[in-house]
Structure 1
Amino acid sequence: MSIEWVNRAIDGLRVWGHENGVTPDADEIRLLCDYASDYLEVGAPGDFRPATFEELLLEIYPRKVITPPDSAAGTVAAAHSLVDFLASTDAVDGPTAAEMRATLDRVGPLMPAALADSSKFGMAKSIFSVIGADTFELIEPGVDDAAPRLGQGRSLTLDEDCDCPGCAPLPPVRLAAPGEVAKMVREVPLLRDAHTVVAWMVESGATATTRKALRVKDAKVLAGRGVARPSVAWGLALELGLAELDGVQVSAEAGFRALEERADEDVLDLWVGLVEFLGEDRGEVTGSAVVDKEVYAIHDLLYRLQVPVPVEAVGDYLSEVADDGPVGDLTEALEGLVAAGTVAITVEGLMLTPHGMWGIREMYAELGLDAPIAPDLAEGDASGLIAGLLSDGITPEAAEPDIVRWLGARSPAEAAGELLEAVVGAPAEVRGVAVTIVDRLGFEAEPAVRRYLSDQELRPHVIHWLSARRLGAPPLTEDEMLWVSVDMLALAIPAAEADPESFAENMAASGPSPEVIEDMWKVEHPDVVQVLEMLGHTLPDRNAAKAARKAAFKARSRGIR
């Protein structure tokens, strides 16, 4: 947030405090200046007005700052110190300073109620009210410098022992390049409508109401010109600063221009503002009160899952988090979010758009949350690709484009050679990832694959690969067939531990026979005991499970661990 004038002002504030024997709350005053700069067009200390403080304390702070109501007194005291500083440095004259102090005396007692009023919460606070992370702890300044700070020494405290979604770490996400995001944002219907409304209002000389709203007659005209939700588009235009009001008179921002003519950086700033606006509007963005109220519950769900979610499941989720009972058909309401650009509806269900993902992550980052970005696996070597695919939080859907691009940058022979070389002597899970990718490759990879017939652990997989393509391969011996069975089951251990019921169903349909299991104890494989114990606990066939437990006992007796 901070810009140069704020930095200079805070430096001057500290000097002023030292010279006058006072200790102003510089952190809180910086936050006041930051928000005044970002939202109230304050570009220098002398731009502060009495109304600036009223807007900051009763509107901006309740929307933006995650802080308990009883912190209001400290913020008001910091505002008084700021007024004293402004007056002593002649940034404001005496009468203006007196009026500022009177404003603070009047609005200060109202601030705790404003901070507690959930209807005023903006995107940041709405997220946490939805996902349950609403516990705040006052931290002494300097105690935990790594904590995300919002105001003087305040930090949102997430409970590490809690298993609710809001306390779970955010998963790594893949983001589109900023240039691609900006290109997609330029086509967002709601943002384009906001520009259309401003251009028409200025051109036609239309005025706003005394409440800054769009007049009904003007909304009808704009609707006839193809603006889907004129009032929402007008509210967004005001939020983004595309339109300015002098009383009821409307003017466009300085340098107002079409989205196509704006620089990428400008477009991305507008997009972040739009994403935030969605959490601040009440009851109009989609036409559904429940969806508007829980818009970031939807976004948070999609962000964390990173897969399409059936619309029916979204409805069930909203019924649970909103505690309002069944929400009914969401089709029309969700189309409102589609027009806002953050989500898309596919045949599989609702999902974040690439620019929606980018914008939501920007909001998390502004909150001070750890919102990791998944590495681009296509840019690394084979070891990096495999390690990335095995890392926590990377879904198969998110990783698939990386695999495709990684393979596309190499010939089949080069890809096979790199992958197999990277897993020589590696654990079964690592080896299994490489073998699975190599299995995608065609005949052109044969020379590179065949070279690993001499590797004891890769040989059975190589034989299977060659045989499946009828490329002339030695037959698998009985020991090799047992070994590859254990090796592939070892690859499935994490999945079996995560979902034993599904694993048991798969084993019932295509698992090894009791006769094969009985002989697995002979296999010189480091995971054979773990594999057999897993089969003994999960196989639905009693005879097969009993055979697995006996074989595990024999393998342990041999000293295989």
Structure 2
Amino acid sequence: MSIEWVNRAVDGLRAWGREKGVEVDVDEVRLLCDYASDYLEVNELGDFRPGTFEELLLEIYPRKVIAPPESAGETVAAARTLVEFLVDTGEIAPKTAMRIRAVLDEIEPEMPAALADTTKFGMAKSIFSAINADSLDLADPAAVQRAVEEFDGLDEDACDCPGCAPLPAVRLAPPSEIARAVREVPLLRDAHLLVEWMAEGGRTTTVRKALRVKDARLVTEEAGVERPALAWRLALDLGLARLEGTTVFVEEGFIPLASRDEEDLLDLWAATVEFLIEAPVDITGNEAVDESIYAVHDLLYRLQVPVPPDGVAEYLRELAAGERVEGLDEALDRLAYTGTVHHLGGGVALTSHGLWGLRELYLEIGLEPPIAADLAEGDASGLISGLITSGLPAEVAEGDIERWLAGRTPEQAAAELLGAVAGAPAEMRGIAVTIVDRLSAEAEPAVTRCLDDAELRPHAIHWLASRGLPAPALTQDELLWVSVDMLALALPAAQIDPDGFAENMAVSGPPPYLIEDMWRVDHPDVVEVLELLGNTLPDKVTAKAARKAAFKARSRGIR
């Protein structure tokens, strides 16, 4: 938004109102100018046209402004005042003013319904409209305190659905890669093609600025534009086209998609993603998908893995209170046309530029999605600690591990990883050992050197023996110790998903006779491990053995 011209316009309007004795709703007019500047490429007062007001009052206001339907009359009145100011000061011609007044007459009865139509709400408006404005009186200190206390207590009963979870750390592709991908987005390509095709042919729109049915058919046949109606709405939203009445012109400064520079492409793509997420338009033709377009993208952003169509359908059913979702495969194909998602590994996932664009949208509404560091670029300590704390999806973390290992020989990798966790907690040691376990026999010298470390020795013996390499036999004490150590690695995940942990233990857990003796192990996590086994193992006899062993370990004072 150009703040300077809006400020000058408002100052001029105030002076004009005083001179003419006209009451001016300055705040409402400022909002009109702000949104016209932000979304409709209005850069000065003389740029206002009939279509500007139509788009502002029937599309932008319902999407952005939280206002009751009955306030529509005040907004239209402010628009009429602005028109009188524009014509009186010579910013627009009298004939233009007449056309705008006629459009405002048509808008006035339609605007209350548009403000009340929740399908037109943008994401931020939908969120804040759900908040009861009467629930918090900021003038009342007691109400403020109650609100703080309620907020502090939210975690106790926090919703565990994907949309309420904290945003995960994401790995973004370099801007140059995103820009290259944006140039290939079918929807953006079609929007540019369509504008040039319409302008060169001297074609016109309907009075509602929509594409004519005949032109939509012709541009598909002649230029290969796949979704003309959607591409046209995007072209108008991005300001690629200019309308004079119903005649289409290429906007001044129009640049073909292939000729745009990196910065311009990123700005264009951010605006495109906002349009797709927030605009009340037909994106896929599937009502269930289009009404949940933000939720679908948000789900894919948070999971960062390909989600099978059945998984998307299940999520949409939950959002729609159990209603069945039909035609999802076709809808997802149409969604891929927009460039935000693609088919991958039997499911659908965000494209690299879709991920980037959605993160930009989160930033726009005041969220701060974390960026995950590239763990492959650090040392062994950075890799291990990053795998614990970054919250990266397994597929992304696996890529980091593979690239980190690719830069080292097996012996170098084993030496760095095992050296980084000497004396470290079990979780760090377990991750290092797990990575070393995928190394070939070339790592033998580095692993063998760890036989002198009491905590790493059992792991080293197991590694060597499993590859048929020379290794001492595990003593009973070492076998018990390494069993506890590997279970300690599973503690964080087990606390999150005890049922999953119990299922795994039922299949591959230690036998009862081994659990009975674990209390003897001098391991800092032995009590916690045994308590977890005692509380989660499905076999009652084994669970009882674990609880008895935990009691004995506590009696020994092991903590």
TM-score (norm 2): 0.83
Counterpart for residue 375 of structure 2: 377
Counterpart for residue 120 of structure 1: 120
Q: Given that residues 535 and 545 in structure 1 are in contact (C-alpha distance below 8 angstroms), is that contact kept between their aligned partners in structure 2?
A: yes
User: Partner amino acid for 2:255?
Assistant: R
How far did residue 407 of structure 1 move?
A: 2.2
Q: Given that residues 123 and 278 in structure 1 are in contact (C-alpha distance below 8 angstroms), is that contact kept between their aligned partners in structure 2?
A: no
Counterpart for residue 59 of structure 1: 59
Paired residue secondary structure (1:255): coil
1:119-518, aligned counterparts within 5 Å?
119-125=119-125, 128=127, 134-135=130-131, 137=133, 162-163=158-159, 165-225=162-222, 226-280=224-278, 284-323=282-321, 325-391=323-389, 393-518=391-516
Paired residue secondary structure (1:213): coil
Give the stretch that moved more between structures: 473-482 or 166-175.
166-175
Give the stretch that moved more between structures: 481-490 or 291-300.
291-300
Q: Given that residues 340 and 350 in structure 2 are in contact (C-alpha distance below 8 angstroms), is that contact kept between their aligned partners in structure 1?
A: yes
Could you tell me how far apart the structure 2 residues matched to 1:221 and 1:105 are? 34
How far did residue 311 of structure 1 move?
A: 0.7
How far did residue 439 of structure 1 move?
A: 1.7
How far did residue 452 of structure 1 move?
A: 2.3
How far did residue 369 of structure 1 move?
A: 1.8
Q: Given that residues 420 and 435 in structure 1 are in contact (C-alpha distance below 8 angstroms), is that contact kept between their aligned partners in structure 2?
A: yes
Gaps of 5+ in 2: 16-23, 141-150
Paired residue secondary structure (2:514): helix
Could you tell me how far apart the structure 2 residues matched to 1:554 and 1:101 are? 87
Change (3 A) 1:284 1:307: same
* Residues 117-148 of structure 1, C-alpha deviations (whole Å, 9 max, x = no match): 2132235446x49xxx82265999999xxxxx
Give the root-mean-square deviation of aligned CA atoms. Answer: 4.1
Counterpart for residue 152 of structure 1: none
How far did residue 57 of structure 1 move?
A: 4.8
Could you tell me how far apart the structure 2 residues matched to 1:466 and 1:524 are? 24
Could you tell me how far apart the structure 2 residues matched to 1:109 and 1:443 are? 79
Give the stretch that moved more between structures: 295-304 or 415-424.
415-424
Could you tell me how far apart the structure 1 residues matched to 2:347 and 2:329 are? 11
Change (3 A) 1:47 1:237: closer
User: Partner amino acid for 2:346?
Assistant: E
Change (3 A) 1:7 1:201: closer
Q: Given that residues 137 and 157 in structure 1 are in contact (C-alpha distance below 8 angstroms), is that contact kept between their aligned partners in structure 2?
A: no
Could you tell me how far apart the structure 1 residues matched to 2:152 and 2:33 are? 25
Paired residue secondary structure (1:360): helix
Change (3 A) 1:29 1:251: closer
User: Partner amino acid for 2:210?
Assistant: A
* Residues 421-479 of structure 1, C-alpha deviations (whole Å, 9 max, x = no match): 22222111111111111222223333333332222111111222222233322222211
* Residues 154-176 of structure 1, C-alpha deviations (whole Å, 9 max, x = no match): xx999666415444322222221
Q: Given that residues 123 and 294 in structure 2 are in contact (C-alpha distance below 8 angstroms), is that contact kept between their aligned partners in structure 1?
A: yes
Change (3 A) 1:555 1:393: same
Q: Percent identity?
A: 60
User: Partner amino acid for 1:400?
Assistant: E
Change (3 A) 1:288 1:11: closer
Could you tell me how far apart the structure 1 residues matched to 2:213 and 2:110 are? 33
Number of equivalent positions? 536
1:525 maps to 2:508? no
Change (3 A) 1:228 1:276: same
Q: Given that residues 416 and 449 in structure 1 are in contact (C-alpha distance below 8 angstroms), is that contact kept between their aligned partners in structure 2?
A: yes
Counterpart for residue 39 of structure 1: 39
Paired residue secondary structure (1:274): helix
Could you tell me how far apart the structure 2 residues matched to 1:74 and 1:343 are? 41
Gaps of 5+ in 1: 17-23, 144-155
Counterpart for residue 68 of structure 2: 69
Give the stretch that moved more between structures: 53-62 or 260-269.
53-62
Q: Given that residues 5 and 44 in structure 1 are in contact (C-alpha distance below 8 angstroms), is that contact kept between their aligned partners in structure 2?
A: no
User: Partner amino acid for 2:131?
Assistant: T
Give the stretch that moved more between structures: 492-501 or 333-342.
492-501
Q: Given that residues 414 and 448 in structure 1 are in contact (C-alpha distance below 8 angstroms), is that contact kept between their aligned partners in structure 2?
A: yes
